[in-house]
């Protein structure tokens, strides 16, 4: 292949992968197919593997969307503790796998339909992991098919993620995803209310960070051992930079545990984690869920 031809082929591949192919954004939906398919992953206890148990946070974003947008809700265990039937890691993986299957099925049925993924709490955790997979180019569709990813109270929020709303400190309790969202970085938006410990754990709260890491790895995938090692090393590196094991010991004293208990009690009483339908994120007075609703309409 001549140099000019090779350069042209490489450019074409890059454009296809990053979703910049001319005319791709204006592709018409096939008859009987939506222009946008939204896969919504509810939070803990909002659904089960047998179907929705009650209206969830994301219904504020998906109710009343125009008919050219189809919404599919993901059923999964949505539990967090072993005595509930499934540990957190296994429950989250079930959500990610089910959402991926729904996207694959729609992609096979409707070649021109764009995809969106939204999630809340544990559902945001799963949606973010799926977005990272899609952004790597290894998901069920190419990155250029994904128009939007919205993560509400993501336990794996990174300070580098695009945040909609007032600034918050720290990161998700489960630690940021190693590698981020790849080719989807430009279409992922996260929402985190100040004071929501699920998505804004302080960087120097090593007890919470190690607890979050243990939750994430509660159903380890052998293929991801390298990733777990990097994430554990990140926490350990921050701990060493902050003073090492004595710092962790100071955070485990009776006094520190009592203070943490009061902090968690205040957090749960505040209901900040359950109030994203009222949490204002922009100068127009839109709440996080209203912003998501209007964003989905814009990208459809």
pLDDT for 19:
38
Which CATH code fits 27-201+271-299? 3.40.50.1820
Strand 146-152 and strand 36-41: the pairing is unpaired
pLDDT for 224:
78
pLDDT for 49:
65
117: Cβ contacts below 8 Å, ≥ 6 apart: 38, 39, 41, 99, 103, 127, 130, 131, 134, 146, 148, 149, 150
Six-digit token pair at 228? 């777990």
pLDDT for 267:
81
d(CA 212, CA 215): 5
Nearest to 125 by CA among 67, 172, 65, 165: 172
Return the SS3 of 184: helix
d(CA 141, CA 78): 25
pLDDT for 213:
83
User: What is the DSSP secondary-structure string of 206-274?
Assistant: HHHHHHHHHHHTSS--GGGHHHHHHHHHHHHHHHHHHTSHHHHHHTTSHHHHHHHHHHHHHHHHHTGGG
Specify the DSSP class assigned to residue 30: P
**Could you read off the pLDDT tens digit of each residue along the chain, which spans 300 residues?**
434 333 333 333 333 333 333 333 345 667 789 999 999 999 988 887 665 555 689 999 999 999 999 999 999 988 876 555 578 889 999 999 999 999 999 999 999 999 999 999 999 999 999 999 999 998 999 999 999 999 999 999 999 999 999 999 999 999 999 889 999 999 999 999 999 999 999 888 888 888 888 888 877 778 778 778 888 888 888 888 888 898 888 888 888 888 888 888 888 788 899 999 999 999 999 999 999 999 999 999
Specify the DSSP class assigned to residue 280: B
Nearest to 25 by CA among 148, 185, 150: 148
Query: How far does Cα 299 stand from its chain's mean position?
Result: 18
d(CA 91, CA 252): 29
């Amino acid at each position: 292949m001549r140099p000019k031809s090779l350069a042209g082929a490489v450019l074409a591949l890059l454009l296809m992968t990053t979703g910049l192919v001319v005319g791709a954004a204006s592709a018409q939906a096939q008859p009987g197919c939506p222009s946008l398919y939204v896969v919504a992953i509810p939070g803990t206890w909002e659904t089960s593997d047998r179907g929705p148990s009650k209206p969830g946070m994301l219904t504020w974003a998906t109710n009343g969307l125009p008919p050219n947008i189809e919404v599919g809700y993901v059923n999964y265990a949505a539990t967090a503790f072993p005595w509930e039937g499934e540990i957190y890691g296994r429950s989250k993986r079930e959500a990610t796998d089910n959402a991926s299957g729904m996207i694959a099925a729609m992609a096979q049925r409707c070649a021109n339909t764009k995809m969106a993924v939204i999630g809340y709490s544990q559902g945001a955790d799963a949606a973010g992991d799926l977005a990272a997979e899609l952004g790597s180019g290894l998901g069920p569709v190419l990155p250029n098919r994904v128009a939007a990813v919205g993560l509400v109270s993501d336990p794996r929020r990174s300070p580098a993620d695009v945040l909609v709303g007032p600034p918050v400190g720290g990161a998700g309790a489960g630690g940021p995803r190693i590698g981020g969202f790849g080719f989807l970085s430009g279409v992922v938006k996260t929402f985190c209310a100040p004071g929501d410990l699920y998505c804004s754990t302080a960087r120097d709260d090593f007890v919470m960070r190690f607890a979050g890491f243990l939750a994430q790895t509660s159903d380890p995938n052998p293929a991801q051992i390298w990733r777990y090692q990097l994430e554990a090393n990140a926490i350990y590196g921050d701990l060493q930079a902050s003073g090492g094991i004595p710092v962790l010991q100071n955070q485990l004293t009776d006094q520190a545990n009592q203070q943490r208990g009061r902090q968690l009690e205040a957090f749960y009483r505040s209901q900040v984690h359950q109030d994203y339908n009222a949490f204002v994120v922009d100068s127009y007075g839109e709440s996080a869920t209203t912003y998501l609703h209007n964003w989905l309409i814009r990208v459809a």
